[in-house]
Every structure is written in structure tokens, then in C-alpha cells.
Amino acid sequence: MANTPQAQKRARQAAARNRHNASMRSMMRTSIKRVHQAIDAGDQDAANEVFRKACSIIDRVADKNIIHKNKAARHKSRLAKSIKALSS
């Protein structure tokens, strides 16, 4: 446990930041799952709509350094590739 007041405050801040980041990661994962559900249903229009929203969320999480920018790009690329495969 932190002994100094400064260390106690840093511990509180870290815990709050951890909760916020976990929430953001969860929101990102949920949006990705929604895209996968639309793809599995075979509905390309719905998949494109949820993909657009998911891209926004993924970019927001990456901009806040919660995930790495390359990971965000990889997620978006794979989702786009899956949606494109629906049309063929």
C-alpha cells in the first residue's frame, strides 16, 4: 500500500484511469461483436452501418492510447475484409 500522500493520490488516479480504460475497451469489443453478428447474419447494409460506428469507436480508443494504433488498424482492416467478402 502507498505510504505517502502523493503515492496514495497516484494510486487513486491509477485505479480511476484503469476503470475508465476498461470501460472503453469493453465498448470497443462490443462494437466489434456487433459487426461480426451482422456479418454472420449476412446483412451487408447493416454490417456497413455498424462497421462505420465501430471504426469511430476503435479510432477513439486508439487516440487515447488505450490500444495501439496498429491494433486498431488491424481490427478495422479485418472487419472491412469480412464485410467485403459478403458481396462476393
The pLDDT score that the predictor gives to residue 49 is 97
The pLDDT score that the predictor gives to residue 8 is 95
Q: Which three cell numbers stand for residue 18?
A: 484503469
Q: What is the pLDDT along the chain (88 residues), one digit of tens a residue?
A: 789 999 999 999 999 999 999 999 999 999 999 999 999 999 999 999 999 999 999 999 999 999 999 999 999 999 999 999 998 7
CATH T-level fold of 5-87: Methane Monooxygenase Hydroxylase; Chain G, domain 1 (1.20.58)
Domain coordinates of the chain in residue numbers? 5-87
